Amino acid sequence: MSLQQILYIVATPIGNLGDFSARAIEALRTVDRIYAEDTRHSLPLLRHHGIETRVSALHEHNEQAQIDVVIAHLLAGNSAALISDAGTPLISDPGFRLVRACRQSGIKVSPIPGACAFVAALSVSGLPTDRFQFVGFAPQKRSARKAFLKSLLQLDHTVAMYESPHRIVECLADINEVFGDKHEICIARELTKKFETVISGTVASVVAQVASDANQQRGEFVVIIAGSGKAHQGDEAASMVSLDRTLGVLLEHLPIKVAAKAAADLFSINKRDAYERALALQGKS
Ligand code: SAM
């Protein structure tokens, strides 16, 4: 297989070295150049697996400047691979600008998938995964983080985010304030590593467990928040208001039973529910 003119986006482990796939190792051995977020961090991992390929740095501060260099290297008929410090490149990691520029230059970009912390966390959280949103890192400043969390209240689906050990306690306190202590969350810590812990339950119970054990405040975290359903509740509240308005008008002109039936048809609701609402509006329930 010719590797020429291909940029491989290669996932590396998020902790457990056994999660480095055979295909990833083979590709990294075979390409002409590896671009790594932090060469000092990645070299021991690469050399440990007998990967002797030349490694250059590509991180958020030099990505723009490196784009032309990487593209020239690939257009000259070489192949390359991009890796980040851990997990899947581009997921809260550099590489988006490079991938975009390569694709715009007609260079093939091919994934060698593997570990990704938020996907691993979702898979064990016990929260719905049919729909979810990954929101990257929460803002560092408290006021911005609270505003950010408030914006998530509108979502009906599960939310996954990354958080640093320096802010995990503050972040949980903010989630408590914004979502309430009965809301369901999960924190996945040190996944695939020796001290892997997945704690789920109400915000109150998770906060209590983290507060009572300093070890639970160390390491790398993914925070998963159950969909709040507040958007849905908002819809329900809005449709209740318009049901009341419609019933109010109908009741001015029609007997209660006829008004309730008309409202039930208009709002596709049960006749008995519409009748009870009509009685409530007339102050008779
Ligand atoms: N590209 C990576 C991926 O695919 O998940 C994420 C890189 S981002 C800079 C690093 C963040 O991912 C950490 O701060 C932490 O929130 C999360 N993370 C990485 N490894 C983890 C692990 N083993 N357990 C839990 N969270 C992890």
- Which two tokens mark 252? 């001015």
Residue 162, ligand 1, Cβ within 6 A: yes
With CA atoms as reference, report the closest residue to 112 among 7, 222, 250, 256. 7
- Taking the C-alpha atoms of residue 256 and residue 277, their distance in angstroms, rounded to an integer, is 10
Q: 0.85 cut: is pTM over it?
A: no
> Mean pLDDT over residues 45-70, rounded?
96
Distance 161 CA to ligand 1 centre (A): 10
Distance 164 CA to ligand 1 centre (A): 9
3-state SS assignment for residue 210: helix
Query: Domains of the chain, with CATH numbers?
Result: 6-115 (3.40.1010.10), 118-225 (3.30.950.10), 230-281 (no CATH)
Do residues 31 and 53 make contact, with C-beta atoms less than 8 angstroms apart?
Answer: yes
With CA atoms as reference, report the closest residue to 30 among 81, 98, 99. 81
Residue 164, ligand 1, Cβ within 6 A: yes
Buried b (16+ CB within 10 A) or exposed e, 144-166: ebbebbeebbebebbbbbbbeee
Ligand 1 atom 8: the closest Cα is on which residue? 92
- Taking the C-alpha atoms of residue 130 and residue 190, their distance in angstroms, rounded to an integer, is 24
Distance 7 CA to ligand 1 centre (A): 23
Distance 231 CA to ligand 1 centre (A): 29
Residue 221, ligand 1, Cβ within 6 A: yes
Tens of pLDDT, residue by residue over 128-156, are 999 999 999 999 999 999 999 999 998 99
- pLDDT category at 233 given cuts 50, 70, 90 is low
Edge-first strand order for the sheet with 6-10 is: 54-57, 33-36, 80-83, 6-10, 108-112
- The predicted pLDDT at position 243 comes to 83
- Taking the C-alpha atoms of residue 30 and residue 110, their distance in angstroms, rounded to an integer, is 14
**Percent over 90 (pLDDT), the chain:** 82
> Which of the two residues, 60 and 229, has the higher pLDDT score?
60
- Taking the C-alpha atoms of residue 125 and residue 225, their distance in angstroms, rounded to an integer, is 10
Ligand 1 atom with least separation from CA of 116: 4
Tens of pLDDT, residue by residue over 70-100, are 999 999 999 999 999 999 999 999 999 999 9
